[in-house]
């Protein structure tokens, strides 16, 4: 059945039999768990907004495979216009949810595997691309959530996959059979895995011939036998268990991460998209990273919310007209728009791969993500500066609601007279959520490490900088002859 509405999506999750663990206990009903509901709501928003005529252009597209209307999170980028719309959609969704909405990794994985599998087939005569198109058709037809899985635990990072003392620290093929393969290992930091229907696996680093068993890409259902999910902790996560909606900061939406173990998982032949082709691993990794780095335009949308919350906190305590406060808000805006401009730029400079799918400009994509690793932290610092210490010393909602001590909080944390103390509490908790709480995973830490930590971008920037060309330009202007 095709998923169209929020209710359809939630019903589809109820049918999954996930092997999910949290706080030492197996979770039989993740759909209704208070810690997981906000992250489910964020994904549900990608279905709701696709049905909203105001956002239909950014949220839906015509499939290049069938011509049918599909959700853009299942779409193969077929033009620079598609790439630009992705960036604009990322910002809009960040504004609507103020969190990670979890479908981006799968979207970018779809595009990386689509173009790479095509080129593997061209060189080797394999059928990986046909396999992938069959998988993608089902994803598009049923409007499924795909979880892109790239990051391995990696163990001793000074060693290649085949050199690890424990060979399972990178996901690998442990058995090849006529009808498929058996894989073992793990993928870490899996964003939105509990809210996903399918896992699309890719290698995590470029590999040599001795790493052949690790050069594997495939798709399996999230409830396939042998898949074990262990939810990651987040700062302030148990606040969601307390009831109320102030202390969480963002009670409607959120995200989650998990360690996903593949304990001898069987993958049928028709779901394999790479199996030992080490010379194409670098291409797949680079194309995924290239797509995923400007996807962090979502942080611009979240930044819009954080800037708005910071401006409100200044209004509520009577400092909005102070020149240094206004200047800091301008600086936050400048940093936020700089991220957005580089995300748009790398999309406008996109190019067509042999498969027909479009790839972004790698240099500008890496500049975009490098900006994200810095500027979100500066924006968060300025938000904390303006919000003040009360953001982290505020009494709990239970205290505020208490008939005996609540009036003290209401009296002594009043700001400007025409604003209720509760409104001031709510905006401070939102700022706390985005800079220090569960929302900080999606805004700060994810900005640093998602799609590669800063050094990963610097390596690509150095490789593409073309210093020899720049030297020749300088020599021509200066009149220097070799």
Task: Please give the full DSSP string across 104-150, using - where no structure is assigned.
Answer: HHHHHHHHHHHHHHHHHHHHH---HHHHHHHHHHHHHHHT--EEEE-
From 33, 256, 291, 292, active-site residue? 292
- Whether 191 sits among the annotated catalytic residues: the reply is yes
Tokens linked to 67: 């011509």
How far apart are alpha carbons 456 and 438 in whole angstroms? 25
- Whether 100 sits among the annotated catalytic residues: the reply is yes
For residues 201 and 171, the answer to whether their CB atoms sit within 8 Å is yes
How far apart are alpha carbons 462 and 424 in whole angstroms? 46
How far apart are alpha carbons 73 and 70 in whole angstroms? 8
Tokens linked to 311: 């401006």
From 119, 277, 432, 446, active-site residue? 446
Tokens linked to 205: 């680093």
Tokens linked to 14: 């109820």
From 298, 317, 346, 368, active-site residue? 298
- Whether 476 sits among the annotated catalytic residues: the reply is no
> Hunting for tokens 């992250």 — which residue is that?
39
From 191, 248, 376, 438, active-site residue? 191
From 99, 104, 317, 346, active-site residue? 104
Question: With helix as H, strand as E and coil as C, how does 360-397 read?
Answer: CCHHHHHHHHHHHHHHHHHHHHHHHHHHCCHHHHCCCH
How far apart are alpha carbons 120 and 122 in whole angstroms? 5
For residues 255 and 99, the answer to whether their CB atoms sit within 8 Å is yes
How far apart are alpha carbons 63 and 52 in whole angstroms? 19
- Whether 446 sits among the annotated catalytic residues: the reply is yes
For residues 447 and 296, the answer to whether their CB atoms sit within 8 Å is yes
How far apart are alpha carbons 98 and 88 in whole angstroms? 15
From 257, 277, 397, 432, active-site residue? 257
From 100, 317, 346, 368, active-site residue? 100
- Whether 298 sits among the annotated catalytic residues: the reply is yes
From 47, 128, 296, 340, active-site residue? 296
- Whether 292 sits among the annotated catalytic residues: the reply is yes
Tokens linked to 154: 């990696």
The crossing angle, in degrees rounded to 10, of helices 80-97 and 298-317 is 30
Strand partners, 175: 182
How far apart are alpha carbons 7 and 352 in whole angstroms? 37
Q: Choose among 145, 3, 135, 147: nearest CA to 65.
A: 135
By annotation, the residues acting in catalysis are: 100, 104, 191, 257, 292, 296, 298, 446
């Amino acid at each position: 059945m095709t998923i169209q509405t929020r209710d359809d999506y939630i019903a589809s999750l109820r049918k999954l039999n996930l092997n999910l663990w949290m706080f030492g206990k197996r979770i039989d009903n993740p759909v209704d768990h208070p810690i997981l509901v906000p992250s489910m709501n964020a994904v549900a928003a990608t279905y709701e907004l696709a049905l909203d005529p105001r956002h239909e252009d950014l949220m839906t597209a015509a499939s290049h495979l069938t011509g049918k209307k599909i959700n853009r999170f299942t779409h193969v980028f077929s033009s620079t216009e598609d790439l630009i719309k992705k960036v604009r959609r990322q910002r809009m969704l960040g504004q609507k949810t103020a969190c990670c909405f979890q479908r981006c990794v799968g979207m970018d994985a779809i595009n990386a595997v689509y173009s790479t599998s095509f080129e593997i087939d061209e060189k080797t005569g394999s059928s990986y691309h046909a396999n992938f198109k069959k998988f993608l058709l089902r994803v598009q037809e049923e409007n499924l959530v795909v979880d892109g899985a790239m990051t391995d635990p990696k163990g001793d990072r000074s060693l290649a996959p085949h050199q690890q003392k424990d060979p399972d620290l990178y996901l690998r093929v442990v058995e090849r059979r006529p009808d498929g393969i058996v894989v073992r290992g793990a993928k870490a930091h899996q964003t939105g895995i509990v809210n996903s229907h399918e896992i699309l696996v890719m290698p995590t680093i470029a590999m040599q011939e001795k790493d052949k068993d690790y050069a594997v890409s495939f798709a399996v259902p999230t409830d396939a036998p042998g898949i074990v999910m262990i939810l990651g902790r987040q700062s302030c996560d148990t606040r969601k268990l307390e009831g109320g909606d102030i202390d969480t900061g963002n009670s409607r939406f959120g995200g989650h991460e998990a360690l996903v173990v593949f304990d001898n998982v069987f993958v049928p032949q028709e779901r394999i998209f790479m199996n030992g082709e080490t010379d194409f691993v670098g291409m797949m990794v680079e194309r995924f990273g290239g797509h995923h780095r400007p996807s962090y335009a979502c942080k611009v949308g979240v930044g819009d919310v954080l800037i708005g919350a910071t401006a409100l906190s200044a209004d509520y305590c009577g400092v909005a007209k102070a020149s240094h406060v206004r200047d800091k808000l301008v600086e936050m805006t400048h940093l936020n728009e700089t991220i957005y401009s580089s995300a748009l730029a790398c999309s406008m400079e996109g190019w067509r791969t042999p498969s027909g799918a479009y790839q972004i400009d790698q240099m500008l994509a890496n500049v975009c993500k490098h900006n994200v690793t810095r500027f979100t932290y500066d924006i968060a610092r300025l938000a904390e500066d303006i919000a003040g210490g009360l953001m982290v010393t505020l009494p709990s909602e239970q205290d505020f609601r208490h008939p005996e001590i609540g009036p003290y909080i209401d009296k002594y944390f009043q700001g400007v007279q025409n604003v209720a103390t509760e409104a001031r509490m709510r905006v401070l908790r939102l700022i706390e959520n985005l800079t220090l709480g569960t929302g900080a995973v999606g805004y700060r830490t994810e900005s640093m490490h998602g799609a590669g930590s800063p050094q990963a971008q610097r390596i690509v920037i150095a490789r593409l900088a073309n210093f020899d060309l720049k030297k020749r330009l300088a020599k021509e202007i200066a009149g220097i002859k070799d």
